[in-house]
Chain A
Amino acid sequence: MSERAARVEQPDERGDPLVVVDELRSYYESERLLGGKPVKAVDGVSFEIRRGETLGIVGESGCGKTTLGRTLVRLEEATDGTVRYDGTDVTTLSGTELKRWRKNAQLVFQDPTASLNERQTVGAVIREPLEAHSWGDPHSRRERVYDLLELVGLAPEHYYRYPHQFSGGQKQRIGIARALALEPDFLVLDEPVSALDVSVQAKILNLLSDLQAELDLTYLLIAHDLSVVRHVCDRVGVMYLGKLMELGPSEELFSDPANPYTQSLLSAIPKPDPSAPFQRLPLRGTPPSPRDPPSGCVFSTRCPLKIRPDIEGNHDLSRAQWEAIDRFREVLRERDLADVTFVERLRERLGLSTRFTPIPTVAEELLGDVSFPDSVEAALSRAVDRAAEGEVSAARAELADALGGVCEREQPVRHDVGEGHSSRCHRHLEAYADADDVLEGEDGVGGVLEGL
């Protein structure tokens, strides 16, 4: 015990990066044989994980956080970019080198039931990594498994039981013991408690942090539960549609989020501290498909702080006007990406009824009650005509040209917004820092992004 404590205290080991991720991309090929676009699950993500820290990755489901974790432990192949582990690029390892490296980095799975082979005894499950790496002799392996069982809070007599005989929390302990068998330095925890009862979650999280202190582990914790992340992580990254939107120290990110997406996410949870300085922003709609991410900023389809363009003739549109336009464009977007069969297209051309409401009707419904300046009106009616002819993509392009702003045109770059704190958003540029225009009419407007 005392040896371990001494190891933890060594200061020189702490702080320098263990894992450096640089412009990592991980795409899934389309299931369709021809013409499908790849799913960009992870699309140009860069960060580093320091020795001994816990880095949290949060985001809605489908944002690519799980793929990111799996790519880091080489369960998924990286499409592009590098992952340096202790200086070595692990994305190019193969064969025995890869096998040797795998000892360093292990994954703890989300669903403990699904990740344990139910036909193996617990002893066999935990022993298997040791056998795969010819670790010691059978006797010492057995001893090691006993030690591991005790380490994760189980008992040696569980050796000859089957996973089926354990509760969810106990199964996750078995999964953790298996991950620890080869004495890794780095663990990717893929939502390790989200499949468990609430009463058990805290116990598993405590176990993980005890293990971290005892074994000097480095964690990447993937979660969608923000409160879990806030309590456990040193730093947190926020992912949306394959991009890292914001990365910063845990406390700072929660108390003073810089990115509109992070703000929206945090707005969704009941605020523990009502005096928190940031503005509550509603998170509307659902994320678009990662197969067709929006151009420019990936969050631009849902962003409440989206930067609006200047309209010809210097008109300022009201919030109601913009919302009507956004809704209409969203319909066009969905219509464009929907799988429309050839016959349906034909029926639409011929003016026959299809499963879709005709675009002019939709436009009438969404835009009819609102009046627009002439230039906007003209752009909208051109788009409606185009869409009615079946050229939905052209209609979308038309509207993007006339009404899309910088958020749709350009990908935001990373801005440093504090000590070790960065965010991707055009709002961090001097020219767009003032968000009053879009927040007009919201309750308690003003000073939203002050201090950025």
Chain B
Amino acid sequence: MTGERDQHRNAGRRHLDERSLRERVTANPRPAILWIAGLLALLALELGTIAGVTLEAGSWIGTRTTGLWERGGLSRVALLAVALVGLVGASGRLSAIDRFRVTAGAGVDAEGDSNAAVDADTSESNESRVPNTPRAVDTAVIAALVGTVVVLAIWVGAAGLVRTVGQGTLTWIADLPTLTAREVISNEGYQTPDGTWHGTFLGLSPAVAWALRVVVIYAYALLWVGWVFVGYRWFRTHYRRVEWTPRDDVVDRLRRHRWAQFGMVVVFVFLVMALFAPVLGPTTAEADLYGPYSHTFEYYDQGSGSVEELTVGEANLETRSVGYEAENVGPMSYDEYDRFHPFGTMPDGSDLFTFLVAGARISLVIGLLSVGLSGALATVFALISAYYRGLADLVLVVTGDTVMGVPRLLLLILLTVLLADTWLGGLYDGGILLAVVLAVTGWPYLWRSFRGPALQIAEAEWIDAARGFGQSTTVIMRTHMLPYLVGYLLIYCSMVLGGVILAVAGLSFLGLGITAPTPEWGRAVNLGQDYIATTSWHISLIPGLMITLVVTGFNALGDGVRDAIDPKADDSSSDNASNARGGGV
């Protein structure tokens, strides 16, 4: 009798949840296969880019040459990884399994597959290897680690691929047309006197061809986001063991929040700009900004009646915008070499739009780096403050107040100038230095915001419970305090990110930080400020507006996340719960 009951019980338990992710997927493979197929299709559209990146990365690792980071396609992949990590963070504090699933599910790249399988398994094996590792480790550090691992996998994989597949094959694949390549929908060409365009996509005018490419790129990016979200929904309905988590409500509330959606749209536009910078502009930053005299283009010379070749630098001398009719190329217009300028040209004749998309990438890298650094510092310090209180808290308060006591601008200027000539100042045209300086001067502000909530959480009774069974301090901080801080982390970091973009722009405007010719939005505002009241108003105004918009967007997103996390904002969540109430009592 008892044996029978036990058997029955064990069968029930087995059925319950002991199946690993793989088993659950095997039991119902359709959604997973469909989703991965879609993922591969999306990847295939950019196969050439991926091969190119692989090739570049592979040979870089092979030859150990440096300097790839700045302009290579690799940075795009790295950014993708960073963005994904951010995305993962944004989906709240996912348990280890959930998080890995999203990371893998978001399709970091082809390797995502194998990663998914491995990582899903670690949730089980973790427990045996590291007994104290909690399931829900959700530190930014861990997220960053995941990102790093992914990037490393790509790099090492790339080197291996180059060796095995061979450079030739890879080069051939890399030369395959991809959906978003500039060559596929080319906007560079010349117009012969009969009015026809040569060299452009389908003979369209450069303006139309360029607009088409922008639309295609954004559509492609939108598809990615949609597909990742579909993956999340499918995972929730088909594979997740938990039928409801508190985070589901957060996601649902975020979906109903208009202001947050505005923020998301702005942030999405900005992120795509940063990711696809090299293909979004009517020309490239290499040709237009970094090496105008080593790049040439063709144009139709009216005088001689023939197609001529000219360096970009020479042409730019004739297309400057310096404040009067005769020398100005405004927004949405062609210059005398039939080059289209969506936002007009700069005082040196280069394309403003190209400048801005390249600048978006720089702003984002600096922003993420500095916010990531200061956020990590602030979180760790807030946890220490709240858990230990007393002396530890006092020391941190004094340190923080000291840093905050010095005027920040002064500190920023001082540190940037002092460190400008060190090796740090040389990285990324001074961008890395700027990020570090901003982080070092900025953490006390974040820490101040986290300390209050952290102190409140440290009072929670479940922390006493954990102390009562002898849980270690670090695990208590990670599993019992940090999850409640992640919301604040997201809110304040998204707001601070806007601030950092503004600060970098401000410093560049003052001529500090980012050096020429690196495109940075603040530099554009600076360069155009003499012409603000003239026909060349666009040089300052457009970047200024974009800075405002992006900062507002990040703030809106932060507001939205706060409203979504704050349960008092919406109590309907309890309705969901009552459906799932179990038996007993």
Please indicate the chain A residues that have their CB under 8 angstroms from the CB of B243 in the complex. 160-161
Q: Are A167 and B585 in contact (CB under 8 A)?
A: yes
A124 sits at the interface (CB 8 A)? yes
Contact with B585, one of A70, A107, A157, A203 (Cβ below 8 angstroms): A203
Please indicate the chain A residues that have their CB under 8 angstroms from the CB of B125 in the complex. 138
Give the shortest distance, in Å, between B122 (CB) and chain A (any CB).
12
Give the shortest distance, in Å, between B8 (CB) and chain A (any CB).
12
Give the shortest distance, in Å, between B486 (CB) and chain A (any CB).
9
Q: Are A160 and B582 in contact (CB under 8 A)?
A: no
When A107-B468, A155-B582, A173-B584 are in contact, do A134 and B245 touch as well, CB less than 8 Å? no
B480 sits at the interface (CB 8 A)? yes
Would you give the 0/1 interface string for A379-402, flagging 1 where the beta carbon is closer than 8 Å to chain B? 000000000000000000000000
Would you give the 0/1 interface string for A115-126, flagging 1 where the beta carbon is closer than 8 Å to chain B? 111111100100
B461 sits at the interface (CB 8 A)? yes
- Name which residue of chain B comes closest to A175, CB basis: B465
A52 sits at the interface (CB 8 A)? no
When A131-B131, A132-B475, A154-B582 are in contact, do A160 and B242 touch as well, CB less than 8 Å? yes
B577 sits at the interface (CB 8 A)? yes
Please indicate the chain B residues that have their CB under 8 angstroms from the CB of A181 in the complex. 469
Please indicate the chain A residues that have their CB under 8 angstroms from the CB of B241 in the complex. 160
Q: Are A119 and B465 in contact (CB under 8 A)?
A: no
- Name which residue of chain A comes closest to B460, CB basis: A114
B467 sits at the interface (CB 8 A)? yes
Cα–Cα, bound, A117→B470 (Å)? 16
Cα–Cα, bound, A107→B462 (Å)? 11
Give the shortest distance, in Å, between B196 (CB) and chain A (any CB).
64
Please indicate the chain A residues that have their CB under 8 angstroms from the CB of B95 in the complex. 121
Q: Give the segment of B10-18, B107-115, B278-286, B359-367 that binds chain A.
A: B10-18
A75 sits at the interface (CB 8 A)? yes
Q: Are A114 and B13 in contact (CB under 8 A)?
A: no
A224 sits at the interface (CB 8 A)? no
Report A87-137 residues with CB < 8 Å from chain B CB.
Answer: 98-100, 102-103, 106-107, 109, 111, 114-121, 124, 128-129, 131-134, 137
Cα–Cα, bound, A153→B584 (Å)? 6
A358 sits at the interface (CB 8 A)? no
Q: Are A120 and B581 in contact (CB under 8 A)?
A: no
Q: Are A155 and B483 in contact (CB under 8 A)?
A: no
B399 sits at the interface (CB 8 A)? no
Would you give the 0/1 interface string for B548-585, flagging 1 where the beta carbon is closer than 8 Å to chain A? 00000000000000000000000000100100111111
Q: Are B581 and A166 in contact (CB under 8 A)?
A: yes
Cα–Cα, bound, A124→B136 (Å)? 10
Q: Are A131 and B468 in contact (CB under 8 A)?
A: no
Give the shortest distance, in Å, between A165 (CB) and chain B (any CB).
5
When A102-B469, A162-B245 are in contact, do A156 and B12 touch as well, CB less than 8 Å? yes
Q: Are A157 and B582 in contact (CB under 8 A)?
A: yes
Report B470-508 residues with CB < 8 Å from chain A CB.
Answer: 470-472, 475, 479-480, 483-484
Please indicate the chain B residues that have their CB under 8 angstroms from the CB of A109 in the complex. 461, 464-465
Cα–Cα, bound, A167→B241 (Å)? 21
Q: Are B462 and A132 in contact (CB under 8 A)?
A: no
Give the shortest distance, in Å, between A328 (CB) and chain B (any CB).
41
Q: Are A120 and B136 in contact (CB under 8 A)?
A: yes
A41 sits at the interface (CB 8 A)? no
Please indicate the chain B residues that have their CB under 8 angstroms from the CB of A100 in the complex. 470
A243 sits at the interface (CB 8 A)? no
Please indicate the chain A residues that have their CB under 8 angstroms from the CB of B451 in the complex. none
Q: Are B127 and A131 in contact (CB under 8 A)?
A: yes
Count of interface residues, chain A, beta-carbon cutoff 8 Å = 58
Contact with A132, one of B246, B464, B472, B584 (Cβ below 8 angstroms): B472
Cα–Cα, bound, A74→B95 (Å)? 31
B538 sits at the interface (CB 8 A)? no
B213 sits at the interface (CB 8 A)? no
A415 sits at the interface (CB 8 A)? no
Give the shortest distance, in Å, between A95 (CB) and chain B (any CB).
10
Q: Are A128 and B471 in contact (CB under 8 A)?
A: yes
- Name which residue of chain A comes closest to B472, CB basis: A132
When A102-B469, A131-B131, A138-B127 are in contact, do A119 and B484 touch as well, CB less than 8 Å? yes
Q: Are B461 and A111 in contact (CB under 8 A)?
A: yes
When A75-B468, A114-B462, A119-B483 are in contact, do A157 and B246 touch as well, CB less than 8 Å? no
When A119-B93, A131-B132, A138-B128 are in contact, do A165 and B461 touch as well, CB less than 8 Å? no
Cα–Cα, bound, A15→B243 (Å)? 48
- Name which residue of chain A comes closest to B468, CB basis: A107
A182 sits at the interface (CB 8 A)? yes
B308 sits at the interface (CB 8 A)? no
Q: Are A155 and B584 in contact (CB under 8 A)?
A: yes
Cα–Cα, bound, A383→B465 (Å)? 51
Would you give the 0/1 interface string for B441-477, flagging 1 where the beta carbon is closer than 8 Å to chain A? 0000000000000000000111011111111100100
B244 sits at the interface (CB 8 A)? yes
- Most B CB atoms within 10 A — which of A70, A99, A117, A133? A117
Q: Are B128 and A137 in contact (CB under 8 A)?
A: yes
Please indicate the chain A residues that have their CB under 8 angstroms from the CB of B128 in the complex. 137-138
Q: Are B471 and A132 in contact (CB under 8 A)?
A: yes
Please indicate the chain B residues that have their CB under 8 angstroms from the CB of A106 in the complex. 468-469
Cα–Cα, bound, A164→B93 (Å)? 16
B70 sits at the interface (CB 8 A)? no
Cα–Cα, bound, A173→B582 (Å)? 12
A51 sits at the interface (CB 8 A)? no
When A115-B462, A132-B469 are in contact, do A154 and B584 touch as well, CB less than 8 Å? yes
Q: Are B16 and A156 in contact (CB under 8 A)?
A: yes
Please indicate the chain B residues that have their CB under 8 angstroms from the CB of A120 in the complex. 136, 479
B22 sits at the interface (CB 8 A)? no
Please indicate the chain B residues that have their CB under 8 angstroms from the CB of A143 in the complex. 13
Q: Are B136 and A119 in contact (CB under 8 A)?
A: yes
A28 sits at the interface (CB 8 A)? no
Contact with A159, one of B16, B131, B583 (Cβ below 8 angstroms): B16
A141 sits at the interface (CB 8 A)? yes
Please indicate the chain B residues that have their CB under 8 angstroms from the CB of A118 in the complex. 246
- Name which residue of chain A comes closest to B12, CB basis: A156
B135 sits at the interface (CB 8 A)? yes
Q: Are A116 and B582 in contact (CB under 8 A)?
A: no
A230 sits at the interface (CB 8 A)? no
Q: What 14 additional pairs, Cβ within 8 angstroms, besides A142-B18, A173-B584?
A: A75-B467, A107-B465, A116-B462, A121-B95, A128-B134, A132-B131, A132-B469, A158-B582, A160-B17, A161-B580, A162-B242, A162-B246, A169-B584, A178-B465
> Mind listing 21 A-B residue pairs with CB under 8 Å?
A98-B470, A107-B465, A109-B464, A114-B461, A117-B462, A118-B246, A119-B246, A119-B484, A128-B471, A137-B127, A141-B127, A154-B582, A154-B584, A156-B13, A157-B16, A159-B16, A165-B244, A165-B577, A165-B581, A178-B465, A181-B469
User: Top 8 A-B pairs ranked by shortest CB distance?
Assistant: A169-B585, A99-B470, A129-B469, A138-B127, A134-B131, A102-B470, A115-B461, A117-B462
Enumerate chain A interface residues (CB-CB to B < 8 A). 70, 73-75, 98-100, 102-103, 106-107, 109, 111, 114-121, 124, 128-129, 131-134, 137-138, 141-143, 146, 153-162, 164-167, 169-170, 173, 175, 178, 181-182, 200, 203-204
